Amino acid sequence: MKTALSSFVYLNYPLDEAIRRTAQAGYEGIDIWGGRPHAYRRDLSRDELASLRRLLEREQLAVASFIPAQFRYPTCLCSNNETIRADSVAYIQDSIETAAALGAPIVSVCPGHSLYGQAVADAWARLAQSLASICEFALRHNIRIAVEPADRYETDLLATTGDAMRMISELRLVNLGVVLDNGHAHVVGESAVQAVHMLGDRLFHVHLDDNNGKRDQHLIPGDGSFDFQPFMHALRAVGYEGFISAELSWDYTIDPDPAAQLTRNRMGQLLG
C-alpha cells in the first residue's frame, strides 16, 4: 500500500504548490481536489494541465484519484429536477476529462441526498441512471468510478458498503466500485473491517481519517476514536495494493504543512 494526501488540505494554495508540498511531506501520491482553486471543471487549459502533469512527474508523485467538488453542492446526481441531474452528470463527465489529462485512474463520486418530498426509491433510480451514464463515459478514458458511502448528513442512499454493493450489483458495470472512507464507516456504525472483506475487487480506493464516532470530522489519524490496526490488517489480508489517501478537514487548511507531515508520519507507522 502507498500513501497519498488529498490536495483539499492545501485549499489556500494553488494546485502546483499543493503538489510540491505534498511531495515534500513524503507522500507517494495525491488525491486532486476538483474544486477551486485546484482543478474545477474547465478552469484549467490543456497547456496548464500538461504543465501540472509534468510537475507531478518531476516530483515523482502519482495521482491516486480525482475528487470532484460535490457532497450536496454543486451537484445532485439523484435530483428529480432533470435539468439539475443532467448538469450534475455533465459536471462529473467534465471532471473525468480533467482527471484523465492529469493521469488519474479513479474518479470518486458522491451519491447525493433525496430532496424534500422525493421518494428514496425515485432518488435511487435517478442515481442509478446517472452512474450508468458516468461509467459509460469514464470507460472511454480508461477511468474507474468509485462511489463513496457516507453518513446521513450527506446521503440517504448509499450510507453503507452494503448499499453500495447493492447498487453495483444492480448496474453490473465493470468500472464501478467503491472508495471506502474509514471515518464514514465509523460514524454510521459499520465495521470497516467487514466492509473491506465485503467489497473484494470492488474496493478501488481508501480514504483515511479519524473522528469521534458521532460526526465526520476528518481528523488526523490517531486524534479520534477509530481503531486503525484491525482495518489495516484487513486491507493486508485481502491483498489491497492501492493507495490509502488521507483526507483532512477544512480546519487544517489555515496551517496545512504540520498536519500533512504529522499525518504522513502516522500513516507510516500504520504501514509498518
Rounded distance, CA 140 to CA 207, Å? 26
In the chain, the number of structural domains is 1
Cis peptide before 149 (omega within 30 of 0): no
Decide if pLDDT at 214 tops 90: yes
Do residues 36 and 59 make contact, with C-beta atoms less than 8 angstroms apart? Answer: no
pLDDT at 28: 98
Rounded distance, CA 104 to CA 255, Å? 27
Instruction: Give the pLDDT confidence of 26-45 residue by residue, as tens digits.
Output: 999 999 999 999 999 999 99
Instruction: Give the pLDDT confidence of 217-247 residue by residue, as tens digits.
Output: 999 999 999 999 999 999 999 999 999 999 9
pLDDT at 74: 85
pLDDT at 72: 72
Segments in the chain forming alpha helices (H): 15-24, 46-58, 82-102, 120-139, 161-171, 182-188, 192-199, 228-237, 256-271
Rg (CA), the chain: 17
Secondary structure class of 239 (helix, strand, coil) = coil
Decide if pLDDT at 62 tops 90: yes
SS3 of 41-59 = CCCCCHHHHHHHHHHHHHC
Domain residue limits at 256: 2-271
pLDDT at 73: 81
Residue 57: CATH number of its domain? 3.20.20.150
Amino acid identity for residue 94 in this structure: D
pLDDT at 241: 96
pLDDT at 272: 84
Question: pLDDT above 90 covers what percent of the chain?
Answer: 96
Decide if pLDDT at 65 tops 90: yes
Decide if pLDDT at 204 tops 90: yes
Instruction: Give the pLDDT confidence of 139-170 residue by residue, as tens digits.
Output: 999 999 999 999 988 999 999 999 999 999 99
Instruction: Give the pLDDT confidence of 77-127 residue by residue, as tens digits.
Output: 999 999 999 999 999 999 999 999 999 999 999 999 999 999 999 999 999
Sign of the dihedral defined by the CA atoms of residues 66, 96, 56, 39, in that order: negative
Secondary structure class of 141 (helix, strand, coil) = coil
Question: pLDDT above 70 covers what percent of the chain?
Answer: 100
Q: What is the mean pLDDT of the chain?
A: 97
Do residues 196 and 238 make contact, with C-beta atoms less than 8 angstroms apart? Answer: yes
Q: Which of 65-79, 82-96, 171-185, 204-218 has the lowest mean pLDDT?
A: 65-79
| Burial class of residue 82 (count of CB atoms within 10 Å of its CB; 0-12, 13-18, 19+) | exposed
